[in-house]
Structure 1
Amino acid sequence: MIIGAIAVAAIGILIYVMHNLRISTIREYKGKYDYINGHEIKNYKKVFLCFGIAAMLIINLYGMGKLFSIGVWFFVRLFISVAGGTLIAYVAFLILDYYYPTILNRKLRKWRFMPRKGSTGNTLRLLSEEEEDVHLEEGMKAEESAFSIDYDVWIDERSGEVKIEKYPGHLQALRCNSCGFYTMKVVREEITKEPGPDGPGELIKHYQCYYCKSVRATAFNISTREADDYKNSPRMAFRRSKNVEMIRLEIQTNTGGKKFFEFQSVGQAQKFLEEYDSEKP
């Protein structure tokens, strides 16, 4: 039985090694993202399932030399070994389902936003949400609007090469800043300002956590620019915080409620604060 436990544990280790070896052999960052997103948690569950079976076999060895007949102790030992192995696998599955997605999300973001090289060897630039629309077909825009698919557009500003990558959309749960679980999803969106000659429009996406019921909203610009306009436009940046991606506001009411809002520029945040009405839902 000890040989069986070692063999099953070795299979688990082999699955883990093969999984990471497979990732290292994928050259494209997008390919790494897709493989990790689709297989990592499944493969790790197989690993811990093997460890649980190995633990069950090892626990079942207790008192083996003193057991000469099938009696009550045989069934007690069998029950304890099965319970021990099940407990190890069950706890591991819970961790992989509820805690590990936080780690997995950081890993996926790393590969998704890793700087790309074009076919000419030049570094590609990732376009913003408002810049990328001019490179997407109408069907792609519809997919993004329906939250089913999200597209990243990378461009070589020297050669004009464009690379479009497809990712799971906003229906995939985001991390809730209140409870920490990945249970924050888009519930509705509204256009607060139509795009026109005087400037871009504004889209507000409303999120709600299905666990703690916290809500937040994020403002996005609706671009009116043509394909080459972004090349001549200055890039917006904070003077001393070049790594800042967005502005996040947290509003706490005297009833204990919390609301979170995210904006892509100082102007959007200031406009929101001027018009915000705490009595509106």
Structure 2
Amino acid sequence: MKLLNKNLWIVVSLTFPAFAQAQLHNHPDLPKSKHETVVIAHRGNHVNVPENTLASTREAINCGADYVEVDLRTTKDGHLIALHDAKVDRTTNGAGKVADMSWAEVAELQVFNRNKRTHRIPEFKEVLALCKGKINIYLDFKDADVEETWKQIKAAGMEHQIVIYINSEEQYHKWREVAPRVPLMASLPKEVTNEEQLRSFISRIYVDVLDNVTTPELVEAARIKNVFVWLDVQNPAEGPASWNEALRKGVHGLQTDKPADLVAYMRDHL
């Protein structure tokens, strides 16, 4: 995930209309969740099936996660698809940049998998249809058109089941223009290291969730401003020790590569 430009909050304060800033001080409601500390399935529940596929989304639904994290990219002919990398090389039997491929070419690719069943890269509209009424979407907005994305979200009736992770200043402005009430998520610039800087950032950048606040003091400073913290905990050693370490910081959500295990742990221990 990419940190926002360190000058973003200065730019926003100078360019965003005052009335819009006042409106956005009242944060939109986040999607409803089953757990007090939300469980986010990183690229779906891909323990036994490939990441960012319909199968991993179903697994995330079946294990009881609150959100499925989906990475969004665009083919050269404008189709929105779920794929993390800019290239298809790592996860499929193809090669090349997805931005240089047509949807017809992408649709022919087979996604690598352990269980030998054939999987494929799904279109975003398929993911939306699968998730509706079953699980929320944490949309990592890699490379896509904001207007087309919002059009598909509305067509699927998923406006209240989605949070958008923005990766750049340009994305921030465009989403606030096209869908000013959609919940947004971002990373803090690395220069923000204390409570005063955090409060200054939050007073100018109208996001609802941050993902890289790692001290209890900064988590509490964000909470006071009605901003939640969802911390990434996926790593090779992920388990109860790392989950507890994150939870002791007071965070409001965990993004995990082991959503079924985390759901079970929270049920039995929290």
Normalised by the length of structure 1, the TM-score is 0.25
More helix, by proportion: 1
Q: Which has the higher contact order (CA 8 A, sep 6+)?
A: 2
Structure having the higher Rg: 1
